[in-house]
C-alpha cells in the first residue's frame, strides 16, 4: 500500500479526530490512581469515545478485545484490560488509544505514574517521551523517514535503555495502519522522502533493560523478556512545509 498524502479536507478531519483523542487521553490520565482496574480504564475510554460520536478503532482490530490497550510495568504494549488487574502505587501504566472520526483514524499513547514511583521509573517515562520529540525534530518535508528513526535511537542509546525493535510506528489515515512503517532505531537506508500531507503515528517503545520482547499466551500482551519496566509515547503527526504538527497533543 502506497503512502497516502492527505488533502486539505482530509487534514481537517485528521485534526478533529486527533483533537478528540487528545481529550480522551486527558480524561484517562485524570482517572489514574491506585485501586482502579485496567478494565475501568477501558470502560471509561470506550464511553468517552462513543459519547463523542466516534468509534474505538482498536476494538476487534485483528480480534483485540478492548478499546484501550492498558499495559502495566513490564508490559510493553497491547495489554488486555482486566477486572482483576488493579493499578498499585508505584506502577507505571501505558494507555494506547485510538478512535475514528468521520472515517479518519487517530492513535496516541502515554505512560503514566500510579501514585509515587521510583525516580528511575520516572526517568524512563521522561526519556521515552523526549525521544519522540527528538524524532520529530527531523519530521520535516525534504528530510527522509529514517532521519526520525535515527534521531530517536541516538537520543535513547545514551541512556542504555533497550529500544523495542519488534514493533514500529506507522502511517495513519482512513486506516489505522498505513505505510510506511516507522522503526524507532537507526536504519542503514534513508527511507522515503517526507512530504507535506503525510500523517504518521510515531511511537517509541523503550525498555529499561534489553530490547527483547515476548508475547504472552493471550497472543496480545507484549512484555519485556527481562521483566524490566517499559514505557510508550505516541502521537499522530502531520508533515507540513515547515514544522510538523503534533495532532494528538491536548
Ligand atoms: N496503537 C497500536 C498500534 O499502533 C494499535 C493497537 S491495535 C490493537 O499498533 F489491536 F492492539 F488495539
Ligand atoms: Co500506533
Structure pTM? 0.98
Percent of the chain residues topping a pLDDT of 90: 99
Measured from the CA of 167, which atom of ligand 1 is nearest? 9
Q: How high is the pLDDT of residue 250?
A: 84
Q: Is the CB of 61 under 6 A from ligand 1?
A: yes
Considering the chain, what is the average pLDDT of its residues?
98
* Average pLDDT of the residues in 176-181: 98
pLDDT of 19 above 90: yes
* CATH code at 8-245: 3.90.230.10
Contact 104, 17 (CB under 8 A): yes
- Enumerate the domain spans of the chain: 8-245
Q: Is the CB of 108 under 6 A from ligand 1?
A: no
d(CA 131, CA 239): 18
Residue 5 grid cell: 498524502
d(CA 62, ligand 1 centre) in Å: 9
Q: How confident is the model at residue 246 (pLDDT cuts 50, 70, 90)?
A: very high
Q: What is the DSSP string of 44-103?
A: HHHHHHHHTT-B-TTTTGGG---SEEEEETTEEE-PPP-TT-B--TT-EEEEEEEEEETT
d(CA 75, CA 70): 9
Q: Is the CB of 215 under 6 A from ligand 1?
A: no
pLDDT of 230 above 90: yes
pLDDT of 2 above 90: no
Q: How confident is the model at residue 42 (pLDDT cuts 50, 70, 90)?
A: very high
Instruction: Please work out, in degrees rounded to the nearest 5, the angle formed at the alpha carbon of residue 103 by the alpha carbons of 106 and 197.
Output: 60
* Average pLDDT of the residues in 50-55: 98
Amino acid at each position: 500500500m502506497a503512502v497516502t498524502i492527505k488533502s486539505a479536507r482530509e487534514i481537517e478531519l485528521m485534526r478533529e479526530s486527533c483533537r478528540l483523542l487528545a481529550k480522551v487521553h486527558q480524561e484517562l490520565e485524570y482517572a489514574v490512581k491506585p485501586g482502579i482496574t485496567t478494565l475501568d480504564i477501558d470502560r471509561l475510554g470506550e464511553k468517552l469515545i462513543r459519547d463523542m460520536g466516534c468509534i474505538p478503532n482498536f476494538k476487534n482490530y485483528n480480534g483485540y478485545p478492548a478499546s484501550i490497550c492498558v499495559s502495566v510495568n513490564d508490559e510493553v504494549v497491547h495489554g488486555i484490560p482486566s477486572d482483576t488487574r488493579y493499578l498499585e502505587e508505584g506502577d507505571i501504566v501505558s494507555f494506547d488509544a485510538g478512535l475514528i472520526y468521520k472515517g479518519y483514524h487517530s492513535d496516541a499513547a502515554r505512560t503514566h505514574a500510579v501514585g509515587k514511583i521510583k525516580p528511575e521509573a520516572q526517568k524512563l517515562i521522561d526519556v521515552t517521551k523526549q525521544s519522540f520529540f527528538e524524532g520529530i525534530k527531523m519530521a520535516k518535508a525534504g528530510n527522509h523517514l529514517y532521519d526520525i528513526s535515527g534521531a530517536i535511537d541516538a537520543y535513547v542509546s545514551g541512556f542504555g535503555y533497550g529500544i523495542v525493535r519488534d514493533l514500529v510506528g506507522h502511517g495513519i489515515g482512513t486506516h489505522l495502519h498505513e505505510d510506511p512503517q516507522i522503526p524507532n532505531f537507526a536504519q542503514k537506508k534513508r527511507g522515503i522522502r517526507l512530504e507535506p500531507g503525510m500523517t504518521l503515528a510515531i511511537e517509541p517503545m523503550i525498555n529499561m533493560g534489553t530490547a527483547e520482547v515476548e508475547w504472552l499466551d493471550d497472543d496480545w500482551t507484549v512484555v519485556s523478556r527481562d521483566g524490566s519496566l517499559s514505557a510508550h509515547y505516541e502521537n499522530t503527526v502531520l508533515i507540513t512545509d515547515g514544522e510538523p504538527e503534533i495532532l494528538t497533543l491536548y
